[in-house]
Amino acid sequence: MPRTRRKRPREAAKVPRSDATLPEFDRGAVPEGLVTRRALREMGLSPGDNEGPVAILRCCLCATRPNWSCRHPTRGFLLRVDLARPKRTPTLAQELALDRAIAARSTCPKCARRYVYCLPLRTVGSCDPCAQGYEPSPDTYFTSTAPVTHRLAA
Ligand SMILES: [Zn+2]
Ligand SMILES: [Zn+2]
């Protein structure tokens, strides 16, 4: 028999819904307070005290077979919102890195002014006043200069 490689059934193993270890809900019928991991992340929350999923969000295929437990990979795992915690705030190092990235993008390598907006460094390579040869208006860059060490040369 040459077709031995098709042993794995296309259909996920059928388990009666009564044997399911977790309660299952169809899309649109999920009780309040339960969300998928992804939804939690989009809310800016981490699982927090959730110790694993408390329910299953059934895949749309399974909406037509209510008697069977959803074992499809597209099912979602539902977590409790009330146990979730806000995501950890960025560390100081992360904030510094972000600040430096913004500084690099808003500092002109020619005149070393740091502007209040990001510069077209990829295309023009300098601030507009340098490229066009005029004095920038003082309200477009920081006059009370941050220490020079803070600046990143491009
Ligand atoms: Zn399913
Ligand atoms: Zn410039």
Terminal C-alpha separation, the chain: 65
133 CA from centroid of ligand 2 (Å): 9
Burial class (CB in 10 A: 0-12, 13-18, 19+), 125: middle
70 CA from centroid of ligand 1 (Å): 4
Is the Cβ–Cβ distance between 107 and 99 less than 8 Å? no
pLDDT in tens, 112-135: 999 999 999 999 999 999 999 999
Average pLDDT estimate for 106-110: 95
Residue 146 has pLDDT above 90, yes or no: no
The percentage of the chain sitting over the pLDDT mark of 90, rounded to a whole number, equals 56
Query: What band does 3 get if pLDDT is binned at 50, 70 and 90?
Result: low
121 CA from centroid of ligand 1 (Å): 50
Residue 103 has pLDDT above 70, yes or no: yes
Q: Is the pTM of this model over 0.95?
A: no
Residue 150 has pLDDT above 70, yes or no: no
